[in-house]
Amino acid sequence: MIVRQRTNWLKMLFIWRGSVLKKIVVQLSIITLFSLAIYIFKGRIFDYKVHLNPTIFTLIGLALAIFMGFCNSASYDRFWEGRKLWGLLVIETRSLTRQILSLVNDSSPAAKEEKQKIIKLISAFSWSLNFQLRDKSGTEHLERLLSPEQLEQVKNKKFIPSIILGFIADWLNEQNKKGNIDTIVMTSMDHQLNQFSNISGGCERIYNTPLPFAYSVLLHRTVYLYCFWLPFGLVDSLGWMMPLIVLLISYTFIALDAIIQEIGEPFGEEENDLALNSICRTIEFSIFEQARIPQGELKKPDAYFID
């Protein structure tokens, strides 16, 4: 995901990174060349003059805009729900870390080291969820956060976040048996783990249930049919300005179609997807800071960065 500082209106006109223009420049070029050909031949296909009233395109354009608004809202709902789930994960990881540090009644040096290992497991959960949603292994992060035994247990597993939650639950159960945490505290911490499971399940629901394919196909077809028929309706009334106006209208509709497809899958690695790596770094930095675990400096966004 690109995070960019505010800039003036003139620079915004020429921003490339983060814009969907590079995805659709070929389509726009083809439509513009097609519009020029229609202008040169005065709207004729061989000897047949195509008569299309501009009013028709006004009505179709209005209906298309309403439908695109619906699809855009549906895509953004998925994007925002994913962001809320990861925002909740930030909160819950910090809360569980605080409870482990303050409510587990064992202050021996060995216990301190054990607590730090569990807090590393919390960070490993966020990284593993990130990579599960992106169909990546994330081995480099798991190797530094898990013990060799734990790493062997998650090897070649599909739902690694759930297995890591099991590691944390086993440790809490062990502390309860030793009398280091009472039943009430155990229940509270178990509720935190249930929240982790809810977050993981919510993200999997978004990942495994894309926008209905019929919506995407209908929108995509309608947009391109509209843009390719538009020159015939405007050639007589606009003259040489027609290709430019068609280009502007096509850019609006085709770019919005591309944005709908992009943000509808919020866990990818495109420039406008959620910054999952950045969120995981923030989680790790904050909980390691709570536990006084040595770490590197957290990267801050400068003018822009791509997650």
Q: Can you give the pLDDT at residue 132?
A: 93
Q: Can you give the pLDDT at residue 304?
A: 41
Q: Against a cut of 0.75, is the pTM above it?
A: yes
Residue-number span of the structural domain to which 162 is assigned: 2-306
CB atoms within 10 A of CB 159: 14
Q: Can you give the pLDDT at residue 301?
A: 46
Q: Can you give the pLDDT at residue 54?
A: 82
Residue 183: both structure tokens together: 């039943």
Residue 85: both structure tokens together: 């789930």
Q: Can you give the pLDDT at residue 271?
A: 83
Q: Can you give the pLDDT at residue 18?
A: 74
For residue 224, the one-letter residue type is: Y
Q: Can you give the pLDDT at residue 91?
A: 95
Provide the domain count of the chain: 1
Residue ranges in the chain whose pLDDT is less than 70: 1-7, 9, 296-307
CA nearest neighbour of 153 among 140, 167, 141 = 167
Q: Can you give the pLDDT at residue 136?
A: 87
- What value does the mean pLDDT of the chain take? 87
